[in-house]
């Protein structure tokens, strides 16, 4: 699981994604397959959201002979909604963490500055609060990534619950991740969120079956 600083870095500074592909070289019969990884570094998710959603605030779209002021493609509208929601929540969390450690509310600043400060303040609070902060930042990272289509949305597993706390379990719809328990409180002795490899779904189902 990525730590808080890493998530904040990808939200505010830059994000690197790896694309794997292969090429085949050589004459027929002797052709060799080569695997490659191409790394792309892009601006942070917040910057990307803000650029992508403000693009749609430009001149009104013209469709045929009709001018439609203010209309935007659904994807861009969604990015603006996600950006607004993250900005508001980040600002609220920063204020509540500041007040929690005996500071004033502080002057308004950019969402990137708020996030960096949250990353610092999370080191001054108790473990439970720090876990809550981590869960929130992970959710913003995930929502921003989905809006920018870096990640598949998450789905809830049917008929299976966490064997430790009974909460719902989720996984990325493209099965690109482990299954995780949705309760932020559900952690092991080391404070690590409980997850299961995809191969463990059957085991989880078996454990559930006596209750059916």
Q: Which stretch binds Zn ion (CB under 5 A): 36-44, 75-83, 95-103, 178-186?
A: 178-186
Q: Which stretch binds Zn ion (CB under 5 A): 7-15, 37-45, 96-104, 175-183?
A: 175-183
Query: 15 - beta bridge partners?
Result: 42
Is residue 179 a contact point for Zn ion (CB under 5 A)?
A: no
Q: Contact letters (x/-) for Zn ion, 145-174, by CB under 5 A?
A: -----------------x-xx-x-------
CB of 112 to Zn ion, least distance (A): 33
- Whether the CB-CB separation of 8 and 115 falls below 8 Å is answered with yes
CB of 203 to Zn ion, least distance (A): 15
CA distance 5 to 122: 10
CB of 207 to Zn ion, least distance (A): 12
Q: How would DSSP label each residue in 9-69?
A: HHHHTEEEEEEEEEEEESSTTT-EEEEEEEEEEEE-HHHHHHHHHHGGGSSPEEETTEEET
Closer CB to Zn ion, 59 or 159, in the complex: 159
Among 152, 160, 186, 204, binds Zn ion (CB under 5 A): 186
- Compute how many residues bind Zn ion; rule: CB under 5 A: 7
Closer CB to Zn ion, 153 or 166, in the complex: 166
**Residues with Cβ < 8 Å from 137, sequence gap 6 or more?**
4, 7, 8, 11, 115, 118, 119
Note the residues at the interface with Zn ion (CB under 5 A). 162, 164-165, 167, 181, 183, 186
């Amino acid at each position: 699981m990525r730590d808080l600083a890493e998530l904040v870095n990808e939200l505010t500074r830059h994000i690197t994604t790896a694309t794997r592909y292969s090429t085949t070289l050589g004459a027929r019969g002797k052709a060799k397959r080569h695997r490659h990884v191409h790394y792309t570094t892009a601006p942070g998710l917040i910057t990307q959201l803000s650029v992508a959603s403000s693009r749609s605030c430009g001149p009104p779209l013209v469709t045929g002979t009709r001018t439609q002021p203010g209309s935007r493609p659904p994807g861009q509208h969604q990015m603006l909604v996600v950006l607004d929601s993250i900005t508001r929540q980040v600002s609220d969390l920063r204020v509540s963490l500041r007040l929690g450690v005996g500071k004033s509310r502080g002057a308004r600043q950019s969402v990137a500055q708020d996030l960096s400060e949250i990353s610092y303040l999370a080191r001054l609070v108790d473990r439970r609060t720090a876990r809550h902060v981590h869960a929130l930042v992970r959710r913003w990272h995930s929502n921003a990534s989905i809006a920018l289509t870096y990640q598949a949305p998450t789905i809830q597993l049917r008929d299976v619950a966490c064997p430790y706390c009974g909460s719902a379990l989720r996984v990325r719809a493209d099965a690109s991740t482990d299954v995780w328990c949705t309760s932020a409180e559900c952690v092991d002795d080391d404070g690590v969120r409980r997850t299961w490899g995809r191969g463990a779904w059957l085991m989880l189902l078996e454990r559930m079956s006596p209750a059916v």
